[in-house]
Amino acid sequence: MKRAEVINHCAEVKRRSLARVMSKQGICSRQEAVRWIESGKVRVNGKVAQSPELLVALNAKIEVVGVETPLPKKTLRYVVMNKRRGVVTTHRDELGRATVYDDLRPFLIRQNITERLFAVGRLDKDTEGLLLFTNDNQLANFLTAPENGVPKTYLATLNKSLTTSALEQLQSGVEIKARGEHYVAQPRDIVQQSARVIQLTLSEGKNRQVRRLFEAIGYTVEHLVRIGFAGLRLNLLCNPPKLNSQPLASGECIECQPEELLKGLG
C-alpha cells in the first residue's frame, strides 16, 4: 500500500480527542488547541467544534479561524541508519559523547540533502541497528503511535542460556517498570536462535524496553541490535549487513522510500 493509503486507512478507523488530533497533525500544542476550541475558533470538516474532547478521525480536516494550518513539506526525506554502538540519539550531548547526527551529517552533505531531519524514536547508546530519520511528521506520528502497533524486531545476546521457564515467561508477558509506571510487556513474536541469542518483536516502543524485559526475569542483555522496524529488515548474515538487499554497514546511512517503510502494514 502507498504511504497515504496506509496512513488514511488507520486514521479513518481510529478516533481521538480533537485537542490530541490537532497536536498530532502539527497544528498546535494540546493546550493551545483547548483554548482555540473553547473560544469557537476551530472547525472540523466545516462545522464549529464545541468541545476539546470531541472524538474525531486522525485525518479529519481541521481549520482554525485566523490561523494558517501547516502546509506539507515540499520534499519529504527518509534516511535509514545502521546505528553503531556507543553513539547517543540526540542532537547535542551534554557529556560530549558522539551522537547519531555526527554520523548522519556527512551522508546528508554527500547526498546534497538540505532538509532538517529528526530521528523517529530512539535507540540507547549501546543498542545498534535500524534508526529512521525524516522530515515527514505525519508518517513519524503514524510509526510511533502506540495504537498502530508498528513492529520493531530485536536480536538480543544474553549473559547466559535462556531456560525453558524463562522463555515461557516472555511468551506470557512480563511486568516491568519504566519511569515510575508498571506495565506488562508481551512480545508479539519470539524466536530462540541459540541458547543465548533471542529474536523478539514488540509493538511498543518504551524506553530500554528489551533490556528491562530481560532484567525482570534475571538476565542481562550483552549485545542488542534492532533488525526490524516497520517494513524494514536488516540482514546481519551478510558482510556488510544488508537492508532490504542493499548494503548498510554499521554507522552508515541509506535513503529509502515510504512504501518500503509501510510494506506489510495497514
Q: Which residues of 139-154 are buried (b: 16+ CB within 10 A; e: fewer)?
A: bbbbbebeebebebbb
169 vs 157: CA distance, rounded Å: 17
126 as an active site residue: the answer is no
Out of 124, 126, 136, 189, pick the active-site residue: 124
261 vs 168: CA distance, rounded Å: 31
Report the Cα–Cα distance between both ends of the chain, in Å, rounded: 8
Read out DSSP for 28-61? S-HHHHHHHHHTT-EEETTEE---TT-EEETT--
40 vs 138: CA distance, rounded Å: 26
Pairing type for strands 127-134 and 78-83 reads antiparallel
Identify the three-state secondary structure at position 248. coil
DSSP state of 88: B
What angle is formed at CA 65 by the lines to CA 37 and CA 144, rounded to 5 degrees? 60
Q: What is the dihedral of CA 237, 242, 243, 245, to 10 degrees?
A: -100
- φ, ψ of residue 153 to 5 degrees: the values are -110, 135
Q: In terms of Cα–Cα distance, which of 2, 1, 30, 28 is closest to 16?
A: 30
Enumerate the active-site residues: 124
